[in-house]
Amino acid sequence: MTVAGTGMQMEAVALGWLVLIRTDSPFLVGLIASARMSLNFLALFSGAIADRVPRHRLLATVMFAMTLLSLGMLALLLSGRLEVWHIFALVLSGGMVRLFQMPAAQALVADTLPEDRISNGAALTTMGMNLNTVAGPLIGGFLFRGIGPQGVYAVIALLYFLGAILALSIRSSRTTTRSREDSLLRSMLEGLKYVKGQQVLWAMLLLAVIINFTGWPLHTSLMPIFARDVLGTDSAGLGILMAAFGIGALIGSTALASVRNLKSAGKLMLLSVIVWHGTMVAFAASHSFYLSLSILLLTGMAFSSTQVMMLTVVLRITLPEFRGRIMGLRSMAIYSFTFGSMNSGAIAGAWGAPLAANINAAIGIALVGALALFTPKLRRA
């Protein structure tokens, strides 16, 4: 997924900067960013599908569809007819397609590894994602400066296509035991019932809701605004800022990948989330480009630790036949990003990006503290 993931990160930079320079509206930047995840409330359905079909083929289908959508954006850019509503429609369509990506891709990690290597697989998966967050923003930002959005989207389409080909080559030891005659509704209800009986799982899903509402908007809807209005840089500078976050995340996931069997993952995960939000306050206070880069390195390390611990715990305790649906529920939790992104964009438009980041950090720390207090099994996971 590293090839296609690089394309996704390139798209995040190109999309945010394109909307900002065309509209000069922080709110629209946040709105378009939120559209990427706005259909994630349907992710339990996509997770149920991922438990019923060959996951590598589902993943390849997603990548082929993203190739076509990228070519559609490229055609509109080349024609000179691109408008904001076109961008919104294409991004919304991409969000619908990506519903199936996370359940299929992350469940495949456990499908291809023995149980005692799942934590390493989770760390390596996160490491690959973090490589994407380094390479994608750098390539996307500098290509945008050098050859414009048309060139960026041509490369993105190529990377999605290559990702589809690679997905078809994946071999899994998993066999589907569920009868396809079982209704999707029954399958989804079984997934919800399974989660209800597992405090660690539903607590993890609540944690995912929190961090997607409070943490992720900084790196998507707010980062272009910080880059231009606070730090005074361009698309290449935006790419460097996002890559610094990715480098920090890569350092964190690389360190964790060397640990064969992670202990106290729950406590480390909660601590990492609090550190992540703490660095957001420091970033909001910085007006120096290089100081901001240093802070984002720490932010990335905390983010990566959170992701590795979360994926490790979820895959470790979830029965194989439920993994697709649990990953679907985790994708559903990302739906909170839609509201977080729109809220952050609105606050940034009215009072500035630093205040939006500080409000998100305060809310995030308070909610994570409350969750840790009331879910002792999560702390012991």
The answer to whether residues 364 and 277 touch, using CB atoms and an 8 Å cutoff, is: yes
The answer to whether residues 124 and 112 touch, using CB atoms and an 8 Å cutoff, is: no
Name the residue with higher pLDDT: 98 or 212: 212
pLDDT score of 3: 82
The residue ranges of every structural domain in the chain are 2-171+186-379
pLDDT score of 47: 72
H or E element, residue 380: none
Residue closest to 327 by CA, chosen among 61, 39, 110: 110
In the chain, alpha helices (H): 2-23, 26-35, 43-50, 55-79, 84-98, 101-111, 118-168, 184-196, 199-214, 223-225, 235-257, 265-285, 289-317, 323-333, 336-351, 353-374, 376-379
Indicate whether 303 pLDDT > 60. Answer: yes
pLDDT score of 177: 47
CATH architecture of 2-171+186-379: Up-down Bundle (1.20)
Whole-structure pTM value: 0.77
Choice among 125-134, 189-198, 252-261, 335-344 with the minimum mean pLDDT: 252-261
Q: How confident is the model at residue 305 (pLDDT cuts 50, 70, 90)?
A: confident
Residue closest to 141 by CA, chosen among 2, 15, 3, 229: 15
pLDDT digits (tens, 9 = 90+) for 331-354: 778 778 888 988 999 999 999 999
Choice among 23-27, 111-115, 151-155 with the minimum mean pLDDT: 111-115
